C-alpha cells in the first residue's frame, strides 16, 4: 500500500511523533530535567500520527523519545515514583503498535509488539523479585525495533479517516466485507468503529477467525490475535482502537502476492477446504472419550501426511467419538516433536502458533470457530514440517519413543543437572526431565527454573515468546502426554552454562 500522507491513508511515514500531554501535570516529572529541552514546535501534536488517550500519551512519549541507552533507567525512575505495572505495559504495547510496522511480515522487528504479552506472562508467573525483568527487557527490545523501523522508512500509524468510519449499526458488516476483500483502508475505518461501539468478545470472535485463515508469516497472525486479546484484557479496552487497527493491518498482509480474495494461493487453501469439512463433524463433537491411542494415530498423520490428510484424520477421530482434547494433545505434542527433530525457527513457531490457536479455541464462544481453529492447527503442522525440510537436517525422533534417563543427582541438584545438560546435550536433558517428572518431581519446579534462565540468559524475543507458550501449554496437554511435551520443550530453552544477558544486570541496577 502507499505510504503517502493523504486523506485515505491510515498508516503513514512520519519523521516525528506526538508529544502532547508531557506537560499535562500527571505526576512528578522532575526526572525529565535530565532529558534535552522540548521546543514548542516539537510539543505540538503531529497531525499525521495517531493520537492516544491523554492519560497514557506522556508515558508512551517517554518510551518513544528516550534514547535506548537511557530508557531502562528512566522507566525505573517512573516505577519508583509510583507508575503502575499496568501503565508501563499499556505504554509499551501502544508505543509498539504506533511505531513499528507489521510489514513486510508479521514478525521480524514486529516481535517488539508480539512479545509484550509473553513478557507479561513471564512477569506474573515469576517471584516478586524478578517481576519487572521481562517487561523492562521488552522495553529495551522495543527501542531496538524502533531503531530498525526508522532505518526502514520511519513508519508511524496515522489517524483514522473519520469520514470513512461507518455507524455502529453497519460496523460489523463493513469489517467482514473489508477483511474478506482484503481491503486495508475499509478495514481500518470499520475496525475503528468496532473499537468504539462493540464489546471485546464480539470483536475478537471476528479476529479469532481471520487470524487463523491463512498460513502467511508462519503463524504470526494467529499469535498476534491471541497476544493482543490477552494484553488488552490486562491493560483495558479503552486502549483498544490503535491495537485493533494495527491487528487488522497485520492480518491483511499478503505482500508480494495478488489479492487473496481473487486468487487461489497456497496459504489460503487449508481454510477454504476446512470451511466445508467442518460441517461434517458430528453435532455433539465436544463430547467423547480421551484416547491415548487416538492421539498416537493423529501424531502419525502429522508426521507423515499432508495438510489435507491431517485435517481429514482429525475429523475421522472426532466422528469416532474421540474427545477433541485427544486431537489437541497430538497437535501440541506433535509441535514439540518437530522441535526435537530440528531445533530452530520453524519448529519454534509450530509450538507458538499451536499455543495461540489453542488459546483462541478456549476463548471463543462460537462452535464453528472452534471447529475451524482445531482443523487449522492440524492443517498447519504438516506445513511447518515441510518448511523444515529446506533448513538442514531433520532428525528421526519421535516424542512418544523418548526414553527416560534418571539424573545422577536428587532434588534441587537434579534440576540443576538437567539445565546444565541443556547447554551441552539437549536430548540427554530431555530424557532426564522425563525421568524426573515420571518419578514425581513437581513440574512447577522445572518450569520455574526454566523461566528464571530465560530472564538471565534470554536475548531474543523468541526466548520469551517460546518459553511463555511452552510452559503455559504444559497444563493444556492431557496428563498422559504432558511430561513428554515439557521434555521436548528443552530443545529451545536456555541452559545454565550460557552467558548471562548483560541487560539483566543493568535492569537490576536501575531498580536498586
Least trusted range by pLDDT, from 28-32, 113-117, 323-327 = 28-32
| pLDDT higher than threshold 70 for residue 449 | yes
Least trusted range by pLDDT, from 127-131, 283-287, 420-424 = 127-131
pLDDT tens digits, one per residue of 47-85: 568 989 999 999 999 999 999 999 999 999 999 999 999
Least trusted range by pLDDT, from 24-28, 208-212, 300-304 = 24-28
pLDDT > 90: percent of the chain = 83
User: Buried (b) or exposed (e) across 133-155, using 16+ Cβ within 10 A?
Assistant: bbbbbbbbbbbebbeebeeeebb
Higher pLDDT, 436 or 471: 436
pLDDT at res. 84 = 95
| pLDDT higher than threshold 90 for residue 486 | yes
Higher pLDDT, 429 or 38: 429
CA dist 427 → 343, 352, 446, 447 (Å): 11, 21, 16, 18
pLDDT tens digits, one per residue of 314-332: 999 999 999 999 999 999 9
Cell of 21: 500531554
Q: Where do the domains of the chain lie?
A: 15-157, 162-251, 264-391, 405-502
Q: How confident is the model at residue 412 (pLDDT cuts 50, 70, 90)?
A: very high
pLDDT at res. 350 = 97
Mean pLDDT of 479-502: 95
Mean pLDDT of 279-291: 97
pLDDT at res. 505 = 86
pLDDT at res. 124 = 87
Does domain 405-502 bear CATH number 1.20.272?
Answer: yes
Q: How confident is the model at residue 154 (pLDDT cuts 50, 70, 90)?
A: very high
Tell me the residue length of the chain.
512
pLDDT at res. 423 = 96
| DSSP annotation of 15 | S
Mean pLDDT of 247-264: 97
pLDDT > 70: percent of the chain = 91
| pLDDT higher than threshold 90 for residue 14 | no
Cell of 114: 508480539
| pLDDT higher than threshold 50 for residue 39 | no
Q: How confident is the model at residue 24 (pLDDT cuts 50, 70, 90)?
A: very low
SS3 letters across 136-165: HHHHHHHHHHHHHHHHCCCEEECCCCHHHC
Mean pLDDT of 372-389: 97
Q: How confident is the model at residue 22 (pLDDT cuts 50, 70, 90)?
A: very low
Neighbours of 217 (CB within 10 A): 25
Mean pLDDT of 129-137: 88
Q: How confident is the model at residue 229 (pLDDT cuts 50, 70, 90)?
A: very high
| pLDDT higher than threshold 50 for residue 511 | yes
Mean pLDDT of 465-489: 95
| pLDDT higher than threshold 60 for residue 6 | no
Mean pLDDT of 454-471: 90
Nearest partner of 340 among 407, 428, 418, 420, judged by Cα: 428
| pLDDT higher than threshold 60 for residue 281 | yes
Q: How confident is the model at residue 34 (pLDDT cuts 50, 70, 90)?
A: very low
pLDDT at res. 333 = 98
CA dist 108 → 94, 113, 243 (Å): 18, 10, 18
pLDDT at res. 46 = 52
pLDDT at res. 3 = 37
| pLDDT higher than threshold 70 for residue 28 | no
Q: What integer best gives the mean pLDDT of the chain?
A: 90
Residue 46 parent element (H or E): none
| DSSP annotation of 363 | H
Amino acid at each position: 500500500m502507499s505510504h503517502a500522507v493523504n486523506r485515505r491513508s491510515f498508516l503513514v511515514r512520519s519523521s516525528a511523533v506526538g508529544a502532547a500531554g508531557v506537560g499535562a501535570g500527571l505526576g512528578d516529572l522532575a526526572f525529565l530535567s535530565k532529558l534535552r529541552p522540548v521546543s514548542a514546535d516539537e510539543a505540538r501534536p503531529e497531525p499525521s500520527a495517531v493520537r492516544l488517550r491523554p492519560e497514557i500519551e506522556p508515558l508512551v512519549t517517554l518510551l518513544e523519545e528516550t534514547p535506548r541507552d537511557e530508557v531502562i533507567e528512566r522507566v525505573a525512575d517512573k516505577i519508583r515514583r509510583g507508575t503502575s505495572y499496568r501503565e508501563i505495559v499499556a505504554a509499551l504495547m501502544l508505543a509498539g503498535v504506533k511505531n513499528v510496522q507489521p510489514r513486510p511480515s508479521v514478525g521480524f522487528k514486529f516481535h517488539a509488539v508480539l512479545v509484550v504479552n509473553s513478557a507479561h506472562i513471564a512477569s506474573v508467573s515469576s517471584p516478586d523479585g524478578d517481576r519487572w525483568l521481562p517487561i523492562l527487557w521488552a522495553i529495551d527490545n522495543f527501542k531496538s525495533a524502533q531503531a530498525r523501523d526508522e532505518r526502514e522508512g520511519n513508519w508511524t500509524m496515522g489517524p483514522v479517516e473519520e469520514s470513512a468510519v461507518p455507524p455502529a449499526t453497519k460496523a460489523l458488516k463493513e469489517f467482514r466485507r473489508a477483511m474478506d476483500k482484503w481491503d486495508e483502508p475499509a478495514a481500518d475505518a470499520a475496525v475503528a468503529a468496532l473499537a468504539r461501539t462493540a464489546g471485546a468478545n464480539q470483536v475478537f470472535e471476528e479476529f479469532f477467525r481471520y487470524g487463523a485463515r491463512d498460513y502467511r508469516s508462519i503463524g504470526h497472525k494467529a499469535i498476534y490475535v491471541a497476544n493482543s486479546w490477552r494484553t488488552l484484557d490486562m491493560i483495558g479496552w479503552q486502549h483498544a482502537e490503535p491495537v485493533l487497527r494495527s491487528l487488522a493491518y497485520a492480518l491483511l498482509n499478503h505482500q508480494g502476492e495478488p489479492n487473496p480474495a481473487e486468487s487461489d494461493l497456497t496459504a489460503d487453501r487449508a481454510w477454504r477446504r476446512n470451511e466445508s469439512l467442518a460441517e461434517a463433524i458430528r453435532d455433539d463433537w465436544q463430547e467423547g472419550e480421551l484416547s491415548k491411542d487416538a492421539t498416537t494415530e493423529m501424531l502419525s498423520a502429522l508426521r507423515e501426511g499432508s495438510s489435507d490428510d491431517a485435517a481429514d484424520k482429525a475429523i475421522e477421530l472426532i466422528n469416532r467419538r474421540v474427545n477433541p482434547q485427544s486431537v489437541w494433545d497430538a497437535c501440541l505434542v506433535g509441535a514439540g516433536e518437530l522441535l526435537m527433530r530440528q531445533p530452530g525457527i520453524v519448529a519454534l513457531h509450530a509450538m507458538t502458533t499451536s499455543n495461540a490457536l489453542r488459546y483462541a479455541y478456549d476463548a471463543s464462544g462460537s462452535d464453528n470457530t472452534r471447529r475451524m481453529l482445531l482443523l487449522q492447527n492440524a492443517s498447519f503442522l504438516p506445513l511447518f514440517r515441510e518448511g523444515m525440510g529446506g533448513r538442514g537436517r531433520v532428525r528421526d525422533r519421535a516424542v512418544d519413543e523418548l526414553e527416560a534417563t534418571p539424573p545422577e543427582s536428587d532434588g534441587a541438584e537434579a534440576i540443576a543437572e538437567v539445565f546444565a545438560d541443556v547447554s551441552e546435550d539437549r536430548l540427554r536433558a530431555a530424557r532426564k526431565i522425563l525421568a524426573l517428572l515420571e518419578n514425581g518431581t513437581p513440574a512447577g519446579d522445572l518450569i520455574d527454573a526454566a523461566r528464571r534462565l530465560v530472564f538471565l540468559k534470554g536475548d531474543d524475543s523468541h526466548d520469551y515468546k517460546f518459553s511463555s507458550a511452552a510452559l503455559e501449554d504444559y497444563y493444556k496437554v492431557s496428563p498422559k502426554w504432558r511430561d513428554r511435551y515439557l521434555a521436548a520443550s528443552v530443545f529451545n530453552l536456555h541452559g545454565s552454562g550460557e552467558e548471562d544477558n548483560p541487560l539483566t544486570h543493568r535492569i537490576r541496577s536501575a531498580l536498586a
